[in-house]
Structure 1
Amino acid sequence: MPDPVLGTGEVVVDVVAVGVLPYAAEVFRGERQYLLTLPVTPGSGAVGRVRAVGPDSTRLRVGDWVLCDPTIRSRDDALTPDITLQGLSARGPGGVRLQEHFGQGSFAEQLLVPTENVFPLGTIEPADVGLWCALPLLLVPYGGLLAAGLRAGQTVLVSGATGNFGSAAVAVALAMGAARVIAPGRNEKTLAELERRFGSRILTVPLSGDEDADRERMRGAAPGSIDIVLDLLPPSAGTTPVRAAAMAVRESGTVVLMGGVGMLGGADLGLPYPWIMRNNITIRGQWMYPREANAQLIQLARTGLLDLRQFSVTAFDLDHANAALAHAAADGGRFSLTVIRPGTPG
């Protein structure tokens, strides 16, 4: 690919490291049916150093360590902007139009990013750059917990807690001050690992597949009531565990849906109208996160409230991107990062 050409409102970043999603190969094979204009350089989000800035940038400096947010929004509609996930997907025809300019992703030596999508990290150790690739993963559940209005001392149930985004949600919820996190799942070994990692603030619930029984187990695990349910189950999951978890929330509680259930077809969720109305339940869908979440999450990591050192990193160079995809699919997941290091100056 040619070097990106800098324009007003844009920044060119030397990519030092980029995380590989565990399901990235599914996207590139077309299994997830994402809108992705070909040909494309894939890769969403990156950590790198500023190479060049446009004339409207007043704070960024060449050489700054930065986080590149892949969630690119159109600038001509503040209320309902079109969105593309750089190098990964788009939402609707408007998102596809954004891909025509910003579609090339971060499996590359250089990346063209809108100025508003570049966030300073401060000074970081080059040896730790792979750990900072956890931020794009953590930003997703952080967006859901912000949408739920999580307050310190509340109890959160993470539906899908044994998965990649779900386990990240456990870490973020605790960093934000949740008193307890309820973690349901079928894999009892993984549940035990979460207990060892987070101690008494996490309460695990083995699931049986019986919706009513599982709901009662989740309610019974909470020392009080469940204030928030955050669903992050993947497209392969059915609606039964989503509904079981959602209806475990307390009266006047909040349910946030961020997972992929139903994206590949199947039954609707089917939450009962009377239960929603009579119990004053708030149900909210949330795709990704607001722009300001980037700076807030960086500060959580900077202060140590969110410890990035709990992640392990396996790095590949750019020539072995296919091996990185295979590794992420086989070994990516809970607190395990697969990273591509393009080899630019660090």
Structure 2
Amino acid sequence: MSMMKAAMVESFDEPPHLRSVPVPRPHSGKELVDVLAVGISHATRGAAAGKHYTSPKSLPALAGIDAVVRRKNGDLAFVMSPGTGSLAERILVDPKDLVPVPRGADPAVVAATMNAALSSWVALKARVHFEPGQSVLVIGATGNAGSSGVRVAKHLGAARVVAAGRNRERLDGLLAEGADELVPLTSDEAATAVAYATAAAEIDVVLDYVWGPPAEQAMQAILSARTEHTRILDWVQVGGTGGMSITLGGNALRHNALRISGSGFGSVIMEDADLPGLSAALASGLVGVRPHIVPLADVEKAWAHVDRPGERTVIVP
């Protein structure tokens, strides 16, 4: 029996451990591919800790939720595998789930950037059917996914992008990456509310990577300042760093054309998201996330690494 190395989640309280496991055998139309790079995103860590909605239902389980892979014919592809894992030397995939990656692209760069850009791309392409010329507010714009959202929105034709975040140095840097206006998030709630009201009162789409009480504060400030109450405001929850619940009064919904939705695995038809377009855009340098490359043999060290702003840990077998 052929064996391979894999990162296995054996306890939600520990990092994945390197283990030798059997190489899976192709079946039911599945294809065996070589894994080239796996990005360790917040979602990947959350799934391995039992804190994400894609977390495995039973253990042990293979870690990882996506990967850049190489097919038998040499073609590169990106694949999302929530619930089945990806952090191994080889994995089984359904060919229809493979997203082509341009030849010559750096697998580590694609692995570092794809997950970061995926949330905003999918939300704008397949969740709210964003139209070029609309305006976008990104809340939590100083993280990798949020800053990628600024670039993605501009790439897709946003006429105006407002970036909101706490890291002031990183926030200021977003002006060179596509942001037109900034909302500094501070402990001064009154000042933050004024900043939201000034910059985002007539926004069309909100990509919210924070949620929780900060989202409540932002909603109240924006809706209170809005003058065109019948103009649709699509508020898309794509992350929960500020909490997983909000309290929203019914008046906000009755008095405004507010549509709240979530974007993630299971909420969109991925065929509508034009992922090959995203892959090509990333390969050409759309999103600047630096890969911090770690070999699979050091997976436990990789799990302990704290990414710096603009960096993402990438494991290579």
Question: Which residue identity is paired with 2:97?
Answer: N
Quick one: which of 271, 280, 283 aligns to 2:257?
280
Which residue in the other structure is 1:18 paired with? 38
The separation in 2 between residues aligned to 1:253 and 1:158, in whole angstroms, is 13
Q: Distance in 2 between matches of 1:291 and 1:270?
A: 30
Q: Specify the alignment match of 1:139 in structure 2.
A: 118
In the alignment, is residue 292 of structure 1 matched against residue 290 of structure 2?
A: no
Any conservation in 2 of the 1:132–1:308 contact (CA below 8 Å)? no
**Structure 1 length normalisation: TM-score?**
0.73
Asked if 1:9 corresponds to 2:15, the answer is: no
Q: 1:38 and 1:181 mapped to 2: Cα distance?
A: 43
Does structure 1 conserve the Cα–Cα contact (< 8 Å) formed by 2:151 and 2:286?
no
Matched, 1:41 2:62: yes
Q: Give the 3 Å change call, closer, same or farther, for CA 312–212 of structure 1 in structure 2.
A: same
In the alignment, structure 1 residue 183 sits paired with structure 2 residue 163: yes
Alignment-derived partner of residue 307 in structure 2 = 331
Do 1:182 and 1:204's aligned partners in 2 also have CA atoms closer than 8 Å?
yes
- TM-superposed CA distance for 1:319, in Å, is 0.5
SS at match of 2:24: coil
**Residue 40 of structure 1: CA displacement?**
1.4
Describe the SS at the equivalent of 1:315: strand
SS at match of 1:205: strand
Q: Counterpart amino acid of 2:217?
A: A
Q: Which amino acid aligns with 2:164?
A: P
Contact 1:183 1:205 in 2 (8 A): yes
* Structural RMSD (CA): 2.6
Which residue of the partner structure matches residue 13 of structure 2?
Answer: none
Matched to 1:242, the amino acid is A
> 1:176 is matched by which residue type in structure 2?
L
**Gap runs ≥5 in structure 1:** 52-61, 71-84, 87-102
- Residues in 2 aligned to 1:305 and 1:122: alpha-carbon distance in whole angstroms: 7
Q: CA deviation at 1:29?
A: 4.2
1:67 maps to 78
Tell me the equivalent position of 1:340.
Answer: 315
Residues 180, 50 of structure 1: CA spacing in aligned structure 2 closer, same or farther, 3 A cutoff? same
Query: What are the residue-to-residue correspondences of 1:84-233 with 2, within 5 Å?
Result: 85-86=82-83, 103=84, 105-125=85-105, 128-133=106-111, 134-146=113-125, 147-195=127-175, 197-198=176-177, 201-209=179-187, 211=189, 213-222=191-200, 225-233=202-210
SS at match of 2:62: coil
Please, which of 184, 193, 218 is the counterpart of residue 245 of structure 1? Answer: 218
Residues in 2 aligned to 1:258 and 1:309: alpha-carbon distance in whole angstroms: 18
Aligned length: 284
CA distance change for structure 1 residues 306 and 231 in 2, over 3 Å: closer, same or farther?
A: farther
Q: 1:257 to 1:33 in 2, by over 3 A?
A: closer
Q: What letter corresponds to residue 209 of structure 2 in structure 1? A: L
Could you list the per-position Cα deviations for residues 307-345 of structure 1 after superposition, in whole angstroms to 9, with x for gaps in the alignment?
246221221111011122222xx125x432211111xxx
| CA 1:273–1:203: 2 relative to 1, 3 Å | same
After TM superposition, give the deviation of residue 273 of structure 1 in Å. 1.1
Pairwise CA distance, 1:107: 1.4
Amino acid at match of 1:230: L
Give 1:337's aligned amino acid: R
Question: Identity rate of aligned residues, in percent?
Answer: 33
Question: Deviation at 1:187?
Answer: 2.1
1:256 matched to 2:277? The reply is no
TM-score, with structure 2 as normaliser: 0.80
1:81 — aligned with what? none
Once the 2 structures are TM-superposed, how far is the Cα of residue 178 of structure 1 from its aligned partner? 0.9
**Alignment partners' CA distance in 2, 1:284 and 1:29:** 25
SS of 1:310's equivalent in the other structure is coil
Give the letter aligned to residue 46 of structure 1: A
Structure 2 gap ranges (5+): 1-20
Equivalent residue for 1:269?
Answer: 246
Question: Conserved in 2, the CA contact under 8 Å of 1:318 and 1:340?
Answer: yes
Label 1:284 to 1:28 Cα distance change in 2 as closer, same or farther (>3 A): closer
1:231 shift after superposition: 0.9
Query: In structure 2, what is the Cα distance between the partners aligned to 1:227 and 1:309?
Result: 23
Q: Quick one: structure 1 residues 300 and 321, their matched pair in 2 at CA, closer, same or farther if it must change by over 3 Å? A: same
